[in-house]
Chains A and B, each alone.
Chain A
Amino acid sequence: MKCDCDKLPEPPPAPPRYIEGHKLIGPFLHATGLTCRKFTELSVERMDSPLKPLSKLRWILHWLLCDLCRPLPRRLANLRVLMREVDRRGDLADPAAQLPEESRTRMMEALRRESEK
């Protein structure tokens, strides 16, 4: 299935205060491996395995420095809980999937045979 996310609206640009601030510290963060991109990658990575000590230090330092990134780990954790709860309730389903009528008839026939046993 091809993603049709292009039909959805684009998120707004980063806040001006963030852009101005990162014009100054962006190159430093880039040089030290403490960028927002690295932080998001590590935030996702730590969901599957513990970070190595140096990565963990980078992650903590960035978490302390960057207002825009700070909520990300909590949001990822909440999203995981939310998705598992939706799955537990049995509410997940591909909205585009339609069971073909002939398949429904075939299932009904199999169920009828089973009920006659």
Chain B
Amino acid sequence: MGKRVLKALVLCLIALFFSGCWDYTELESLGFVFGAGVDQVEPDFVIYLEIIDSDGGGQETQFTPKVLSTKGRSFSSAARALSDTAGTSVFWPHVSVFLVSEEVAKQGVLPAIEYVLRSRLTRSTIYILVTRECTVEEVFKSKPFLANSVSDHLDGIIALQPILAKFYRVQIWEFVSHLTDSGIAVAAPTVQLVHESGELVPIIEGTAVFKDDRMVGWLDAEESQLFCLLQGMFQRPHIVMDTKIKEGVYPITYEMIGSNAEIKPTIKDNKPAMDISVELRFNVTEVGNAQINFQSEEEVGSIEEQLAHTFNRRIKDLLEKLQDEYNSDILGFGRLLKRKEPKVWRRYEDIWDSYYPQLAVNIEVKAFIEITGLYSRPVVVRD
């Protein structure tokens, strides 16, 4: 342990302490962005950020969201300019939702989200949303009832997807991976504003359907649910179906407690086709005044048949819309074909766009009623 070792040690420490703190920041100098959005891409980017302004240290703290917007030739230049208006350094990693306006989606979504993907400051787990019949600004300036900020509100709704089952949720990394993959088109949930007790409240309902990076149309809540079902997402929606019981027709509510959807590419007459087989399991949640005897195999079988039939028809309608109206392969039929039958796919790869609408799809749905709530028999009113 000579003086040389000591000197070396001191030099090491100096190197450490003088070079170390290069990305040292103090929390209070950061403006935390919760949500971001792009309202316009051409000729200039117009971006909106929801920043949290926290007031008062110590025991009682108030959080007020502030919406800032700027213009710029590119997303990043606009984002930098925002630091100027905000007066703090804008901190991106806590962004949870990214909104794209309808116009931008129609023109092509890629330029709007490219920065979000490339930047090291934003997370790839951000949820992407498309505004429907409103602008990003209107959404951010609306007043959610309970949540602190619009972004929190939207994030909360997204977390409820399995029970709401009204939209298809997608994080930006998956969105982009679908965008760059052949044989699958992208879809994103849509934000709408509804009037509620005199306030405009943002809700998430329905799904925006894209072709390449351009939006071509919408799916409503029910169609979105079926789309998620076919994508194999876990969800427990309540389904109200007018069910024929003996002679009467009653609105009965069923809760989907499990589903299994399988899409299999097949070759028929040397042409690719799709086999969709769906298995649904239900819990009967509300019967109303319908007198159903759940002990009777016949009656339950009839209900199961009606459910299967309904779902079969709904899926058929959805596929018709996707194939004929939008010509958008958001279910990824092409990708499945590519995986299972690569040789066939090679022949169809270039003409997939024109072949997709005429793709034959065979749908088979099975439904089972497994639980009938806490009661196994109907509630009968007697004198």
A, B assembled together: no
Q: Taking beta carbons and an 8 Å cutoff, which residues of A are in contact with B? A: none
Q: Taking beta carbons and an 8 Å cutoff, which residues of B are in contact with A? A: none
